[in-house]
Amino acid sequence: MGHWYEQRESAGGVVRITEPKVRALLSANVWWLRGADRDLVVDAGLGVVPLRAALPQLFARDPLLVLTHAHLDHVGGAPEFRSRAAHAAAAELLGRGVPASLYGAELSRQLGIPADGAPLPELLLKALPYPDYDPATYRIGPITLTQHLHDGDRIDLGDRSLTVLHLPGHTPGCLALLDEHTGELYSGDVIYDGDLIDDLPESDIPTYRRSLQLLADLDIALIHPGHGPSFPATRLRELTAAYLRATD
């Protein structure tokens, strides 16, 4: 259980925490930024293994947690944080309890994933965190927020600040955080280097297109996405252009 999470220093001095034993669909990043006055954690993982027990140093400075959107692989560990923020449009779903299952068929049903695609793996973990772990017990309870975020809000960490960008499309409450000084963008599932998911019942393709068009026009240097490693702006422009072409 001690090796459930992996952490490594990524470009720009930010720490990327991953769950390598989770299958690709649900293997999301937790980003840890250490500020002069306060730490910021972007997203909270799947919540299969408590973060606080595995990575106590993450909590040493009582960080602010920002959730990029209300999907299980990004919010599972949220109840472990004292300060929890997300876009106001995600608050209701988080408060109700997000759909959550580690079984592909059950998760597809809960999320409303269209049946025409390839079915999800039977179990969305590659390995159990410990031998007698029962994936059937996995749940995400209601998550109440201590702060509602809106487009243009600023999060001040002392030596750096981040601007909230409301970028709906994948979900109505998707946000990204932009450090305008360094050009680093924490993008959640708005953009990552892979197939973007726009066919959930809560997704909206025209809205998603507007969000990606907005991103393509911003001064961004480096993207820290919700899934996979960081990538530079050149790749961001390729990805946004490809999506805008494919959905035209």
Given the rule CB under 5 A, which residues bind Zn ion?
Answer: 71, 189
In one-letter notation, the amino acid at residue 240 is T
Q: Which is nearer to Zn ion, 71 or 160 (CB)?
A: 71
3-state secondary structure 107-156: HHHHHCCCCCCCCCCCECECCCCCCCCCHHHCCCCCCCCCEEECCCCEEE
CB 126, min distance to Zn ion, A: 20
As to burial, measured by CB atoms within 10 angstroms (0-12 exposed, 13-18 middle, 19+ buried), residue 141 is exposed
Q: Which is nearer to Zn ion, 39 or 189 (CB)?
A: 189
C-alpha dist (Å) from residue 26 to 3, 9, 56, 128: 17, 21, 23, 14
The full length of the chain comes to 248
Q: Which is nearer to Zn ion, 19 or 189 (CB)?
A: 189
CB 159, min distance to Zn ion, A: 30
Nearest-CA neighbor of 22 among 74, 58, 68, 66? Answer: 74
CB 73, min distance to Zn ion, A: 7
CB 74, min distance to Zn ion, A: 6
Tokens of 107: 């998760």
CB 113, min distance to Zn ion, A: 11
For residue 237, the tally of other CB atoms under 10 A from its CB is 13
d(CA 236, CA 248): 18
Q: Which is nearer to Zn ion, 84 or 170 (CB)?
A: 170
CB 191, min distance to Zn ion, A: 12
98 touches 44 (CB < 8 A) = no
Q: Which is nearer to Zn ion, 157 or 164 (CB)?
A: 164
Q: Which is nearer to Zn ion, 73 or 179 (CB)?
A: 73
